[in-house]
Amino acid sequence: MNVSIASRQLSQRVAFGLLIAATAIVVIAVLAIVLKMLISGSGAISWEFLTQAPSQAGKAGGIFPAIVGTFYLMLGTIIFALPVGVMAGIYLTEYARDNWLTRIINLAIVNLAGVPSIVYGLFGLGIFVLAFNFGMSLLAASLTLACQALAMTITTSREAILAVPREYREGSLASGATKWQTVRHIVLPQAKPGIITGAVLAMSRAAGETAPILVVGAAFLLPALPQSPFDQFMALPYHLYTVAAHVPGITDSTMWGVALVLLAVVLSFNILATIIRLRARQRRYSS
């Protein structure tokens, strides 16, 4: 008996240790990435670096156009992806009947998330750049990234809408509100924090994409800011890729500096999403 208890306690300890180790690896990986960026890249960060256009193929000057381009891109992506995502989410949860067509649509949405990003790039090149004749442009890139972001905005909208308790819907319908009034005045306000969280995460993902924008409008070294949606643009991830891969003699610290700024943009949006979610949860429990 004693032996058996001792061996059970040992296996318990081993399992516990393995679980802790696995968790620690995750934390260490994140910390290591952030620390490496900070140590190697913070030397490059200066007011000039953040506010000036690049010169000498990125070896000198700053990355201001790439920062601005990335923000334009995030904005452009969400302008297209959010309304379509929310409307599709409403349709699928509130209106669509559960039949084979709806099931195929749901399957399509799941697969949309699994399509490799370079495939979106080529799709965007074929459709937006060439067929619609938008050219290599901010507009074509935004639409391309929006297609990719749709999987996320639809899924998060749908989940946020489904999480609204049935009692609220019934209470509204029983008061003689129409289905649309119920969606508009009860369901959407309740689902809003979840929808916004999803949108912010979709934006942060769009900020980090390199492959799709490569073929639909990102430019290397374009000191002037885009003046219209039909202009080409610089973006942080693509800038990082080109300086790292194609610019000989670039200093390490410049390279890491670009990476650090990109990481800061993406992480700050992820943190923003977390804050929105936490605040919504707090409000729900405190009221």
Partner 1 sequence: MKMNSELLDKKTAMNNDLKLSTEGVNLYYGNFQALRNITLDIPERAITAIIGPSGCGKSSFLRIFNRMNDLITGARVEGRIELDGINIYAKSIDVVELRKKVGMVFQKPNPFPMSVFENVAYGPRRHGRHNRGELEEIVEKSLRRAALWDEVKDKLGQSALALSGGQQQRLCIARVLAVEPEVILMDEPCSALDPVATLKIEDLMRSLADNYAIIIVTHNMQQAARVSDMAAFLMMEKDRAGVLVEYGPTSELFTNPKDKRTEDYITGRFG
Residues at the contact surface with partner 1, assessed by CB under 8 A:
97-98, 165, 167-168, 170-178, 181, 185-186, 190, 284, 287
Nearest CA to 234 among 68, 41, 77? 68
Residue number, 12 or 181, with CB nearest to partner 1: 181
| Stated length of the chain | 287
Residue number, 77 or 93, with CB nearest to partner 1: 93
State whether residue 218 is helix, strand or coil: strand
Residue number, 132 or 168, with CB nearest to partner 1: 168
Q: C-beta of 167: minimal distance to partner 1 in Å?
A: 4
Q: C-beta of 2: minimal distance to partner 1 in Å?
A: 51
Residue number, 60 or 173, with CB nearest to partner 1: 173
Residue number, 98 or 248, with CB nearest to partner 1: 98
Q: C-beta of 188: minimal distance to partner 1 in Å?
A: 13
Q: C-beta of 173: minimal distance to partner 1 in Å?
A: 7
Query: CA 210, 214, 218: angle at the middle one, nearest 5?
Result: 100
Burial 62-100 (b: 16+ CB within 10 A, else e): bbbbbbbbbebbbebbbebbbebbbebbbebbbeeeeee
Residue number, 67 or 195, with CB nearest to partner 1: 195
Q: C-beta of 190: minimal distance to partner 1 in Å?
A: 7
Q: C-beta of 129: minimal distance to partner 1 in Å?
A: 44
Residue number, 175 or 251, with CB nearest to partner 1: 175
* Dihedral sign computed on CA atoms, order 22, 27, 32, 33: positive
Dmax (CA) for the chain in angstroms is 79
Output the DSSP codes for 223-286: -SPP-STTS-B--HHHHHHHHHHH-TT--HHHHHHHHHHHHHHHHHHHHHHHHHHHHHHHHHHH
Q: How far is CA 194 from CA 126, 274, 287, in A?
A: 34, 10, 18
Task: Name the DSSP letter for residue 95.
Answer: I
State whether residue 188 is helix, strand or coil: helix
The span from the CA of 54 to the CA of 224, in Å, is: 10
The span from the CA of 213 to the CA of 142, in Å, is: 9
Q: C-beta of 98: minimal distance to partner 1 in Å?
A: 7
